[in-house]
Amino acid sequence: MKEVAHKNKKEVANAFKDWLEEKGLAIEYLDDEDTGVNCIVVKDSIMLNVSFLKASKDSLIVSGKVGIQP
């Protein structure tokens, strides 16, 4: 991912999507008028929401939750 350091936000978002897919993660893309990319990544009991806001020059928002299974 170091090669994306000097790219614009759209290029970074596309590189990020490609990286997630290369890792074989289950990705669900969401439609959202406020984001250029908005996806949910699920792996076992971990769910991450990753988005790039359109209104910001350089934003990356990552939020998540971990489900504990007894």
> Could you read off the pLDDT of 14-61 as tens digits, one per residue?
787 788 888 888 788 888 888 877 888 888 878 888 888 888 777 778
pLDDT at 28: 85
Sign for the pseudo-dihedral over CA of 62, 1, 35, 29:
negative
Indicate whether 47 belongs to any domain.
yes
Q: How far apart are CA 58 and CA 54, in angstroms?
A: 9
Range of the domain at 31: 2-64
pLDDT at 4: 56
Rg (CA), the chain: 13
> Count of domains in the chain?
1
Indicate whether 19 belongs to any domain.
yes
Query: Would the pLDDT of 69 be above 70?
Result: no
Query: Would the pLDDT of 65 be above 60?
Result: yes
Q: Are 46 and 66 in contact (CB under 8 A)?
A: yes
Q: 44: buried, middle or exposed (CB in 10 Å: 19+, 13-18, 0-12)? A: exposed
Query: Would the pLDDT of 8 be above 60?
Result: yes
Indicate whether 70 belongs to any domain.
no
